[in-house]
Amino acid sequence: MAGSGTAHLRPEAERALVVDDLVVEYPAGRGTVHAVSGLSLDLLPGETLGILGESGCGKSSAGRAVMQLPPPTSGEVRLGDVDLTALPARRMRAARARMQLVLQDPVSALNPRRRVKDLVVEGLEIWGWGERDRDRFVDELLSSVGLDPATVRDRRPHELSGGQCQRVCIARSLALDPDVLICDEPVSSLDVSVQAQILNLLERARERLRLSMIFIAHDVAVVKNISDRVLVMYLGKTCEVLPSASLEAALHPYTRLLLASVPESSGAEDAADPADPADPAAAVVGELPSPLAPPSGCRFRTRCPLATERCAAEEPVLREVRPGQFTACHHVEES
């Protein structure tokens, strides 16, 4: 674990998930898209890590690569004591079931021809189960995600609302009794009125099952509210990792600009209000540079108000600037 971005990883042996120096690259014509460039993170049982960053910074690529869907270009992913990147294909399916992905668009995640009662147990080996056991299990799952089994059991996805479909997706994930849930913008396609309900449902599931969660989003207030720690990404790299309770004390210029995009009313106490979405990049001047040719040195330097020559020449490493707060910036003191 020697990567410069690993300073924030904890030594505890009981970590549920460790991601070390993850790289995701896509071939593009004669070039390469550098979507994720050395991301490291870890999760304790029952902990939620929020990943925050503007559109195109590599959040989904990272989430999929952690799930090995597809496997990353390089880097290590350890689930408990199992190294997924070294696992033979025949053992991958069982290991992958211990991690589940909840996606942004729940309707298209579900097979439109199947009924809810079949969809929620689709990933399970249920051969040999009696019909009564299976029905009882399905009903328990549906109730646990706040759906009335009698009403929805026989429906197909198009007969449900977006919020109900997301509840079915979450029930399907929980059916497999995972250790880790990766939620990739799970509420951004939903009506504002149901977003808070789904966030509460995820929070309750995390507590009840001691799930570890990665919560990917670009809404600062939502990420702050649901996460224990927040990892801020910019153009495939980690800028800052810090407890969400100290998010307002962020020191990286990019994190500071993201916070400046949050409306005044979304302070620490009412930050949960998803009815007040903000474009996280609104306060950041200029375009995100192409991941085909990321800037030298600090990747944020082309948009950073504090950039100096050193920022172009030398890549800043992530270092602990306050207890539990890690920042990758040459000029933290001036921030």
Ligand X SMILES: Nc1ncnc2c1ncn2[C@@H]1O[C@H](COP(=O)(O)OP(=O)(O)OP(=O)(O)O)[C@@H](O)[C@H]1O
Q: How far is the CB of 58 from ligand X (least distance, A)?
A: 4
255 vs 266 by CB, closer to ligand SF4: 255
280 binds, among ligand SF4, Mg ion, ligand X, none (CB under 5 to 8 A by kind): none
201 binds, among ligand SF4, Mg ion, ligand X, none (CB under 5 to 8 A by kind): none
Instruction: State how far the Cα of 235 lies from the Cα of 293, in Å rounded to an integer.
Output: 10
Interaction pattern, residues 191-230, with ligand SF4; x per rule: CB under 6 A: ----------------------------------------
Taking contact as CB under 5 A, which single stretch among the options 59-67, 90-98, 127-135, 137-145 is the one that binds Mg ion? 59-67
The binder of Mg ion chosen from 60, 144, 195, 227 (CB under 5 A) = 60
Instruction: State how far the Cα of 154 lies from the Cα of 134, in Å rounded to an integer.
Output: 14
DSSP string spanning 40-67?
A: EEEE-TT-EEEEE--TTSSHHHHHHHHT
What is the residue whose two structure tokens read 């909840």?
A: 102
Contact between residue 324 and residue 66 where contact means Cβ atoms under 8 Å apart? no
Contact between residue 98 and residue 180 where contact means Cβ atoms under 8 Å apart? yes
Binding to ligand SF4, residues 238-257 (CB under 6 A)? 253
The binder of ligand SF4 chosen from 8, 224, 237, 330 (CB under 6 A) = 330
Calculated CA dihedral for residues 105, 111, 112, 116, nearest 10 degrees: -90
What pairing do the DSSP bridges indicate for beta strands 17-28 and 31-43? antiparallel
Contact between residue 199 and residue 272 where contact means Cβ atoms under 8 Å apart? yes
Taking contact as CB under 6 A, which single stretch among the options 65-73, 115-123, 271-279, 294-302 is the one that binds ligand SF4? 294-302
The binder of ligand SF4 chosen from 216, 298, 318, 321 (CB under 6 A) = 298
Taking contact as CB under 5 A, which single stretch among the options 40-48, 60-68, 94-102, 174-182 is the one that binds Mg ion? 60-68
33 binds, among Mg ion, ligand X, ligand SF4, none (CB under 5 to 8 A by kind): ligand X
The binder of ligand X chosen from 10, 55, 314, 322 (CB under 6 A) = 55
The binder of ligand SF4 chosen from 8, 301, 318, 326 (CB under 6 A) = 301
How many residues contact ligand SF4, by CB under 6 A? 12
Tokens describing residue 6: 């690993």
Q: How far is the CB of 180 from ligand X (least distance, A)?
A: 18
291 binds, among ligand SF4, Mg ion, ligand X, none (CB under 5 to 8 A by kind): ligand X
99 vs 101 by CB, closer to Mg ion: 101
| Count of residues making up the chain | 335
Q: How far is the CB of 9 from ligand X (least distance, A)?
A: 22
Residues 248-252: contacts with CB within 8 Å, 24+ apart?
249/322, 249/325, 250/325, 250/327, 251/321, 251/325, 251/327, 251/329, 251/332, 251/335, 252/327, 252/328, 252/329, 252/332, 252/335
Contact between residue 28 and residue 292 where contact means Cβ atoms under 8 Å apart? yes
Q: How far is the CB of 53 from Mg ion (least distance, A)?
A: 9
Residues 122-129: contacts with CB within 8 Å, 24+ apart?
122/172, 123/97, 123/172, 123/175, 123/176, 124/175, 124/176
CA-based R_g, the chain, Å: 20
Burial environment of residue 191 by CB neighbours within 10 A (0 to 12, 13 to 18, 19 or more): exposed
58 binds, among ligand SF4, ligand X, Mg ion, none (CB under 5 to 8 A by kind): ligand X
Binding to ligand X, residues 231-290 (CB under 6 A)? none
In one-letter notation, the amino acid at residue 41 is L
Contact between residue 244 and residue 230 where contact means Cβ atoms under 8 Å apart? yes
Q: How far is the CB of 291 from ligand X (least distance, A)?
A: 4
- Note the residues at the interface with ligand SF4 (CB under 6 A): 253, 298, 300-301, 304, 306-307, 311, 316, 329-331
- Note the residues at the interface with ligand X (CB under 6 A): 26, 28, 33, 35, 53, 55-61, 218, 291
